Protein backbone atom coordinates (compact mmCIF):
# COMPACT_ATOMS: atom_id res chain seq x y z
CA UNK A 1 0.00 0.00 0.00
CA UNK A 2 1.19 3.52 -0.74
CA UNK A 3 0.09 7.12 -0.33
CA UNK A 4 1.32 10.07 -2.34
CA UNK A 5 2.18 12.23 0.66
CA UNK A 6 1.61 15.71 -0.71
CA UNK A 7 -1.18 18.23 -0.96
CA UNK A 8 -4.08 19.22 1.26
CA UNK A 9 -5.51 16.59 3.61
CA UNK A 10 -8.56 17.95 5.47
CA UNK A 11 -9.04 16.81 9.05
CA UNK A 12 -12.77 16.64 8.56
CA UNK A 13 -15.43 17.31 11.17
CA UNK A 14 -17.94 14.68 12.22
CA UNK A 15 -21.56 15.68 11.68
CA UNK A 16 -24.32 14.93 14.20
CA UNK A 17 -28.10 15.05 14.06
CA UNK A 18 -30.17 16.67 16.80
CA UNK A 19 -30.69 13.19 18.30
CA UNK A 20 -26.88 12.81 18.58
CA UNK A 21 -26.59 10.17 15.87
CA UNK A 22 -24.12 10.52 13.00
CA UNK A 23 -25.43 12.74 10.21
CA UNK A 24 -24.14 11.15 7.03
CA UNK A 25 -26.11 13.44 4.71
CA UNK A 26 -24.43 16.56 6.08
CA UNK A 27 -21.09 14.75 6.17
CA UNK A 28 -21.39 13.76 2.51
CA UNK A 29 -22.10 17.33 1.43
CA UNK A 30 -18.88 18.52 3.02
CA UNK A 31 -16.78 15.66 1.64
CA UNK A 32 -18.03 16.33 -1.87
CA UNK A 33 -17.10 20.01 -1.47
CA UNK A 34 -13.60 18.96 -0.43
CA UNK A 35 -13.21 16.65 -3.40
CA UNK A 36 -14.57 19.25 -5.82
CA UNK A 37 -11.97 21.72 -4.54
CA UNK A 38 -9.18 19.25 -5.27
CA UNK A 39 -8.02 18.04 -1.87
CA UNK A 40 -5.54 15.19 -1.89
CA UNK A 41 -6.68 13.06 1.06
CA UNK A 42 -9.24 12.81 3.85
CA UNK A 43 -8.48 12.28 7.55
CA UNK A 44 -11.24 10.94 9.79
CA UNK A 45 -11.57 10.99 13.56
CA UNK A 46 -8.98 13.59 14.40
CA UNK A 47 -9.31 16.31 17.01
CA UNK A 48 -11.65 18.20 14.68
CA UNK A 49 -13.55 14.97 14.11
CA UNK A 50 -14.33 14.82 17.85
CA UNK A 51 -12.48 11.52 18.20
CA UNK A 52 -12.62 11.58 21.99
CA UNK A 53 -16.42 11.32 22.01
CA UNK A 54 -16.88 8.79 19.21
CA UNK A 55 -17.44 5.13 19.96
CA UNK A 56 -15.25 2.55 18.26
CA UNK A 57 -18.20 1.48 16.11
CA UNK A 58 -18.93 5.06 15.06
CA UNK A 59 -15.32 5.48 13.93
CA UNK A 60 -15.55 2.31 11.87
CA UNK A 61 -18.93 3.31 10.47
CA UNK A 62 -17.46 6.66 9.41
CA UNK A 63 -14.53 4.92 7.77
CA UNK A 64 -16.68 2.42 5.88
CA UNK A 65 -19.08 5.12 4.75
CA UNK A 66 -16.32 7.49 3.64
CA UNK A 67 -14.51 4.80 1.68
CA UNK A 68 -17.71 4.05 -0.21
CA UNK A 69 -18.38 7.73 -0.85
CA UNK A 70 -14.86 8.64 -1.93
CA UNK A 71 -14.56 5.50 -4.06
CA UNK A 72 -10.80 5.71 -4.47
CA UNK A 73 -10.64 9.34 -5.57
CA UNK A 74 -8.25 10.21 -2.73
CA UNK A 75 -6.72 8.26 0.17
CA UNK A 76 -8.81 7.99 3.34
CA UNK A 77 -6.90 7.90 6.65
CA UNK A 78 -8.24 7.00 10.07
CA UNK A 79 -6.78 8.79 13.08
CA UNK A 80 -5.72 6.64 16.04
CA UNK A 81 -5.99 8.43 19.39
CA UNK A 82 -6.09 5.74 22.06
CA UNK A 83 -5.10 5.52 25.70
CA UNK A 84 -3.83 1.92 25.53
CA UNK A 85 -1.43 0.24 23.15
CA UNK A 86 -3.80 -2.71 22.83
CA UNK A 87 -6.64 -0.51 21.63
CA UNK A 88 -4.36 1.35 19.22
CA UNK A 89 -3.19 -1.93 17.69
CA UNK A 90 -6.75 -3.23 17.43
CA UNK A 91 -7.82 0.01 15.75
CA UNK A 92 -4.99 -0.23 13.23
CA UNK A 93 -5.91 -3.82 12.40
CA UNK A 94 -9.59 -2.97 12.01
CA UNK A 95 -8.82 0.03 9.80
CA UNK A 96 -6.78 -2.22 7.52
CA UNK A 97 -9.54 -4.81 7.45
CA UNK A 98 -12.12 -2.19 6.45
CA UNK A 99 -9.94 -0.82 3.66
CA UNK A 100 -8.41 2.38 5.02
CA UNK A 101 -5.61 3.86 2.92
CA UNK A 102 -3.50 4.79 5.95
CA UNK A 103 -3.38 5.99 9.53
CA UNK A 104 -2.62 9.15 11.43
CA UNK A 105 -1.18 8.17 14.81
CA UNK A 106 -1.04 10.19 18.02
CA UNK A 107 1.11 9.32 21.04
CA UNK A 108 -0.75 7.63 23.91
CA UNK A 109 -3.69 9.62 25.22
CA UNK A 110 -4.31 10.59 28.87
CA UNK A 111 -0.96 9.21 30.10
CA UNK A 112 2.22 11.27 29.87
CA UNK A 113 4.38 8.52 28.36
CA UNK A 114 8.15 8.85 28.45
CA UNK A 115 10.38 8.33 25.42
CA UNK A 116 10.65 4.55 25.77
CA UNK A 117 6.91 4.14 26.29
CA UNK A 118 6.01 6.40 23.40
CA UNK A 119 8.37 4.62 21.02
CA UNK A 120 7.05 1.23 22.12
CA UNK A 121 3.50 2.41 21.44
CA UNK A 122 4.39 3.60 17.93
CA UNK A 123 6.40 0.47 17.20
CA UNK A 124 3.68 -1.93 18.21
CA UNK A 125 1.17 -0.16 15.98
CA UNK A 126 3.62 -0.04 13.05
CA UNK A 127 4.38 -3.74 13.44
CA UNK A 128 0.69 -4.63 13.52
CA UNK A 129 -0.27 -3.22 10.12
CA UNK A 130 1.02 -2.73 6.59
CA UNK A 131 -0.83 0.60 6.36
CA UNK A 132 1.20 3.78 5.79
CA UNK A 133 1.40 5.90 8.94
CA UNK A 134 1.61 9.63 9.60
CA UNK A 135 2.87 10.47 13.10
CA UNK A 136 1.03 13.41 14.65
CA UNK A 137 3.60 15.50 16.53
CA UNK A 138 1.74 18.05 18.66
CA UNK A 139 3.42 18.60 22.03
CA UNK A 140 1.50 21.85 22.59
CA UNK A 141 -1.88 20.16 22.84
CA UNK A 142 -0.93 16.57 23.69
CA UNK A 143 2.18 17.20 25.84
CA UNK A 144 4.40 14.55 24.25
CA UNK A 145 7.00 15.67 21.71
CA UNK A 146 8.31 13.27 19.11
CA UNK A 147 11.91 14.44 18.91
CA UNK A 148 14.35 14.05 16.03
CA UNK A 149 16.11 11.29 17.94
CA UNK A 150 12.80 9.48 18.28
CA UNK A 151 12.16 9.82 14.54
CA UNK A 152 15.65 8.39 13.93
CA UNK A 153 14.61 5.34 15.96
CA UNK A 154 11.32 5.01 14.05
CA UNK A 155 12.96 5.34 10.63
CA UNK A 156 13.51 1.56 10.47
CA UNK A 157 9.76 1.05 10.05
CA UNK A 158 9.04 1.50 6.36
CA UNK A 159 5.35 2.19 6.93
CA UNK A 160 6.05 5.18 9.21
CA UNK A 161 6.27 7.62 6.33
CA UNK A 162 5.05 11.08 7.28
CA UNK A 163 4.63 13.54 10.13
CA UNK A 164 1.95 16.08 10.92
CA UNK A 165 4.26 18.80 12.21
CA UNK A 166 2.42 20.78 14.89
CA UNK A 167 5.23 21.74 17.26
CA UNK A 168 4.64 25.43 16.35
CA UNK A 169 8.39 25.66 15.62
CA UNK A 170 8.84 26.45 11.93
CA UNK A 171 12.56 25.64 12.14
CA UNK A 172 11.70 22.05 13.01
CA UNK A 173 10.83 21.50 9.35
CA UNK A 174 14.37 22.41 8.35
CA UNK A 175 15.79 20.26 11.15
CA UNK A 176 13.82 17.28 9.85
CA UNK A 177 15.05 17.83 6.29
CA UNK A 178 18.64 18.36 7.43
CA UNK A 179 18.68 15.13 9.41
CA UNK A 180 16.48 12.83 7.33
CA UNK A 181 16.30 14.26 3.82
CA UNK A 182 13.03 13.08 2.34
CA UNK A 183 12.73 9.97 4.54
CA UNK A 184 9.67 11.47 6.24
CA UNK A 185 7.17 13.55 4.31
CA UNK A 186 6.26 16.65 6.32
CA UNK A 187 2.77 18.09 6.61
CA UNK A 188 2.10 21.33 8.41
CA UNK A 189 -0.65 20.86 10.98
CA UNK A 190 -1.15 24.41 12.26
CA UNK A 191 -3.37 26.53 10.03
CA UNK A 192 -1.94 29.95 11.04
CA UNK A 193 1.57 28.70 10.18
CA UNK A 194 0.62 26.93 6.98
CA UNK A 195 2.05 29.17 4.29
CA UNK A 196 5.26 29.72 6.25
CA UNK A 197 5.64 25.95 6.59
CA UNK A 198 4.96 25.30 2.91
CA UNK A 199 7.53 27.91 1.90
CA UNK A 200 10.03 26.14 4.18
CA UNK A 201 9.44 22.96 2.20
CA UNK A 202 6.56 21.14 3.86
CA UNK A 203 5.11 18.58 1.46
CA UNK A 204 1.50 19.05 2.49
CA UNK A 205 -1.06 20.58 4.81
CA UNK A 206 -3.33 18.75 7.27
CA UNK A 207 -5.85 21.55 7.37
CA UNK A 208 -8.75 22.58 9.59
CA UNK A 209 -10.42 25.65 8.08
CA UNK A 210 -10.39 23.80 4.77
CA UNK A 211 -13.58 22.24 6.16
CA UNK A 212 -15.30 25.58 5.53
CA UNK A 213 -13.05 27.08 2.83
CA UNK A 214 -11.76 24.21 0.68
CA UNK A 215 -11.06 26.14 -2.52
CA UNK A 216 -9.05 28.87 -0.79
CA UNK A 217 -6.99 26.30 1.13
CA UNK A 218 -6.17 24.32 -1.98
CA UNK A 219 -5.37 27.54 -3.84
CA UNK A 220 -2.78 28.61 -1.26
CA UNK A 221 -1.12 25.20 -1.36
CA UNK A 222 -0.97 25.02 -5.14
CA UNK A 223 0.18 28.61 -5.59
CA UNK A 224 3.04 28.13 -3.13
CA UNK A 225 4.12 24.92 -4.84
CA UNK A 226 4.02 26.75 -8.18
CA UNK A 227 6.20 29.49 -6.58
CA UNK A 228 3.46 32.05 -7.15
CA UNK A 229 4.14 33.46 -3.72
CA UNK A 230 2.59 36.92 -4.07
CA UNK A 231 -0.74 35.46 -5.15
CA UNK A 232 -0.65 32.90 -2.35
CA UNK A 233 0.25 35.58 0.19
CA UNK A 234 -2.68 37.79 -0.78
CA UNK A 235 -5.11 34.93 -0.08
CA UNK A 236 -3.26 33.90 3.07
CA UNK A 237 -3.35 37.38 4.57
CA UNK A 238 -7.09 37.54 3.95
CA UNK A 239 -7.49 34.05 5.45
CA UNK A 240 -5.31 34.43 8.55
CA UNK A 241 -7.92 35.81 11.01
CA UNK A 242 -10.11 32.81 10.16
CA UNK A 243 -7.19 30.36 10.26
CA UNK A 244 -6.45 31.45 13.82
CA UNK A 245 -9.74 29.85 14.90
CA UNK A 246 -7.90 26.54 14.43
CA UNK A 247 -5.68 27.05 17.50
CA UNK A 248 -8.40 27.77 20.06
CA UNK A 249 -9.60 25.08 22.51
CA UNK A 250 -13.06 25.46 20.93
CA UNK A 251 -11.77 24.97 17.40
CA UNK A 252 -14.43 22.34 16.71
CA UNK A 253 -17.31 24.68 17.52
CA UNK A 254 -15.65 27.60 15.72
CA UNK A 255 -14.89 25.67 12.54
CA UNK A 256 -18.38 24.19 12.49
CA UNK A 257 -19.76 27.75 12.66
CA UNK A 258 -17.63 28.56 9.63
CA UNK A 259 -18.95 25.47 7.82
CA UNK A 260 -22.50 26.69 8.40
CA UNK A 261 -21.59 30.15 7.12
CA UNK A 262 -20.23 28.73 3.86
CA UNK A 263 -23.13 26.31 3.45
CA UNK A 264 -21.27 23.01 3.75
CA UNK A 265 -21.75 21.97 7.37
CA UNK A 266 -23.83 21.93 10.51
CA UNK A 267 -23.17 23.36 13.94
CA UNK A 268 -24.16 20.40 16.11
CA UNK A 269 -21.40 19.01 18.34
CA UNK A 270 -21.46 16.18 20.84
CA UNK A 271 -21.51 17.01 24.55
CA UNK A 272 -19.58 17.95 26.56
CA UNK A 273 -18.95 20.39 23.70
CA UNK A 274 -21.76 22.94 23.57
CA UNK A 275 -22.62 25.62 21.06
CA UNK A 276 -20.85 28.92 21.67
CA UNK A 277 -23.11 31.72 22.83
CA UNK A 278 -23.30 35.42 23.58
CA UNK A 279 -20.30 37.67 23.07
CA UNK A 280 -18.02 34.76 22.21
CA UNK A 281 -20.34 33.65 19.41
CA UNK A 282 -20.65 37.16 18.06
CA UNK A 283 -16.89 37.59 18.04
CA UNK A 284 -16.33 34.39 16.07
CA UNK A 285 -19.16 35.13 13.64
CA UNK A 286 -17.73 38.59 13.00
CA UNK A 287 -14.38 37.06 12.02
CA UNK A 288 -16.10 34.64 9.67
CA UNK A 289 -18.54 37.16 8.20
CA UNK A 290 -15.85 39.79 7.70
CA UNK A 291 -13.90 37.22 5.71
CA UNK A 292 -16.93 36.27 3.64
CA UNK A 293 -17.61 39.93 2.87
CA UNK A 294 -14.12 40.25 1.39
CA UNK A 295 -13.74 36.74 -0.02
CA UNK A 296 -11.09 36.97 -2.73
CA UNK A 297 -11.39 35.92 -6.31
CA UNK A 298 -8.97 33.06 -6.78
CA UNK A 299 -6.21 33.57 -9.35
CA UNK A 300 -6.42 31.67 -12.60
CA UNK A 301 -4.31 28.57 -12.28
CA UNK A 302 -4.64 28.22 -8.52
CA UNK A 303 -7.69 25.98 -8.19
CA UNK A 304 -9.07 23.50 -10.64
CA UNK A 305 -6.60 24.49 -13.36
CA UNK A 306 -3.07 23.74 -12.15
CA UNK A 307 -3.56 20.00 -12.45
CA UNK A 308 0.14 19.40 -13.04
CA UNK A 309 0.85 20.15 -9.37
CA UNK A 310 -2.43 18.93 -7.94
Residue 11 lies in a domain: yes
Burial of 24 (0-12, 13-18, 19+ CB in 10 A): middle
pLDDT at position 92 is 98
Please report, rounded to a whole number, the percentage of residues in the chain having pLDDT higher than 90: 95
Number of domains in the chain: 1
Across 151-169, average pLDDT: 98
Q: Residue 1 — pLDDT band, cuts 50, 70, 90?
A: low
pLDDT at position 301 is 58
Residue 2 lies in a domain: no
What lies within 8 Å, CB to CB, of 2 at 6+ separation is: 132
What lies within 8 Å, CB to CB, of 141 at 6+ separation is: 47, 166
Across 231-258, average pLDDT: 97
pLDDT at position 308 is 42
Q: Residue 156 — pLDDT band, cuts 50, 70, 90?
A: very high
Encode pLDDT of 65-123 as tens digits. 999 999 999 999 999 999 999 999 999 999 999 999 999 999 999 899 999 999 999 99
Residue 1 lies in a domain: no
pLDDT at position 305 is 46
Residue 24 lies in a domain: yes
Q: Given a cut of 90, is residue 309 above it in pLDDT?
A: no
Residue 264 lies in a domain: yes
Encode pLDDT of 5-44 as tens digits. 999 999 999 999 999 999 999 999 999 999 999 999 999 9
Residue 299 lies in a domain: yes
Range of the domain at 198: 7-309
CATH code (residue 132): 3.20.20.70
CB atoms inside a 10 Å sphere around CB 62: 22
Residue 23 lies in a domain: yes
Encode pLDDT of 259-278 as tens digits. 999 999 999 999 999 999 99
pLDDT at position 2 is 87
Q: Given a cut of 90, is residue 254 above it in pLDDT?
A: yes
Residue 7: strand pairing partners:
204
Please report, rounded to a whole number, the percentage of residues in the chain having pLDDT higher than 70: 96
Its pTM stands at 0.95
Burial of 300 (0-12, 13-18, 19+ CB in 10 A): exposed
| Rounded Cα–Cα distance for residues 273 and 268 (Å) | 9
Residue 59 lies in a domain: yes
Tell me the pLDDT of the chain averaged across its residues: 96
Amino acid sequence: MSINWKGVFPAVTTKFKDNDELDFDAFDKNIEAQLEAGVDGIILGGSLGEASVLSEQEKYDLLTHTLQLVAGRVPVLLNIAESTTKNAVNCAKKAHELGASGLMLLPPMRYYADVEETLDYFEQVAQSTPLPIMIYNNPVDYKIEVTLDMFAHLAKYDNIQAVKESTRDISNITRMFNRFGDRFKIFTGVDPLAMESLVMGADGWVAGLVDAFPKETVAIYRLVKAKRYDEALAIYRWFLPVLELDIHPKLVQYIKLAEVATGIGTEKTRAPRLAVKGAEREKVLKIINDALAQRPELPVGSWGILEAIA
